[in-house]
Structure 1
């Protein structure tokens, strides 16, 4: 994993004095089992309660047919959350997996299986990783309208490092049947 944090944005740990860069992070949320909306809202709340995480934006909720999932899988609700953090990518992986576990996420080895909650790290600053446990930027985000459309709504000028502008990527993949659900609005704790 390599990293080139912005040297001009620094946060000093008040206990150790260690300098930790603030990184813009984008995550994607998805749920197609149980109370899908409550699962997404719970993930937003859990992120907001995470020390050293400052939520800066939560997208509209979108409904999406499952992609490459087993037959009979229900539609997903999806959203994107933007936040600034001083947490390392490894700590973020631990945190998002703990949030998934809290909402009953089962990891049964079936690819794209239905799930109560899926929390994917899309980008963490400009970090790159090709590790089995973490790939950054997310290798399939540039192909998925359910990530690109809500992210575009929040940041029309956003880019995925090594892939390009979110607007251009969204234009290339089309809407893929992603439907905005204005009747479902995720709240952010103040």
Structure 2
């Protein structure tokens, strides 16, 4: 998942995909960019741009996480950045095949993915029938039961 609310998100996302590809991701696809109000952020935070991306990765999920963190830093996001603040780029691993990972460093599926419209809508463009391995719910099913305001 790609997100951000500072700078030109279209260019920043394109550059992030290039870096993911040069870092070893293959067959990358990206949803269209969705715009949404900031969720769980400080008051006055600008709206976010969000997109889902899928691809093939031969390494571990932790190696992918490190690559994502490196790309975030290169895009200008400090390592100690709060999740409640504006940012140029946020890369989240929502799903990693059928893996369920629960470590302090990485949680997959992303803990709030199934209740966040700004995650589910872009993801549904690429993987509508995919299931969350922890709940067994399809992405389109999760999207269908969300209240409109979420």
Please say whether Structure 1 and Structure 2 have the same fold, judged by a TM-score greater than 0.5.
Answer: yes
- Secondary structure in 1 aligned to 2:118? helix
In the alignment, the residues of structure 2 paired with residue 49 and residue 101 of structure 1 have an alpha-carbon distance, to the nearest angstrom, of: 16
Flag the 1:107–1:146 CA change in 2: closer, same or farther, 3 A. same
Q: After alignment, is 115-124 or 147-156 more displaced?
A: 147-156
Find 2:86's aligned residue among 114, 119, 122.
114
1:79-98 equivalences in 2 (<5 Å) = 79-98=51-70
Is the 8 Å Cα contact of residues 55 and 81 (structure 1) preserved in structure 2? no
Identify, as 1 or 2, the structure richer in helix: 2
Task: Tell whether 2:143 aligns with 1:167.
Answer: no
Give the aligned partner of residue 2 of structure 2. 29
**Count of residue correspondences:** 149
Give the aligned partner of residue 54 of structure 1. 26
**Structure 1 segments unaligned to the other structure (5+ residues):** 1-27, 178-190
| CA RMSD in angstroms, aligned pairs only | 1.6
Flag the 1:72–1:107 CA change in 2: closer, same or farther, 3 A. farther
Superposed displacement of residue 176, structure 1: 4.2
Q: Give me the TM-score of the superposition, normalised by structure 1.
A: 0.73
Task: Tell whether 2:105 aligns with 1:133.
Answer: yes
- Superposed CA deviations along residues 67-115 of structure 1, whole A, max 9, x for unmatched, are 0100111011100000111110110011000000000012445332111
Is the 8 Å Cα contact of residues 30 and 119 (structure 1) preserved in structure 2? yes
Flag the 1:176–1:36 CA change in 2: closer, same or farther, 3 A. farther
Give the aligned partner of residue 39 of structure 1. 12
Flag the 1:128–1:161 CA change in 2: closer, same or farther, 3 A. same
In the alignment, the residues of structure 2 paired with residue 153 and residue 175 of structure 1 have an alpha-carbon distance, to the nearest angstrom, of: 18
**Structure 2 segments unaligned to the other structure (5+ residues):** none
Superposed displacement of residue 55, structure 1: 2.6
In the alignment, the residues of structure 1 paired with residue 79 and residue 41 of structure 2 have an alpha-carbon distance, to the nearest angstrom, of: 14
Task: Tell whether 2:76 aligns with 1:104.
Answer: yes
Larger radius of gyration: 1
Identify, as 1 or 2, the structure richer in strand: 1
- Superposed CA deviations along residues 40-79 of structure 1, whole A, max 9, x for unmatched, are 111111112222x213421011001000100111011100
In the alignment, the residues of structure 2 paired with residue 157 and residue 32 of structure 1 have an alpha-carbon distance, to the nearest angstrom, of: 29
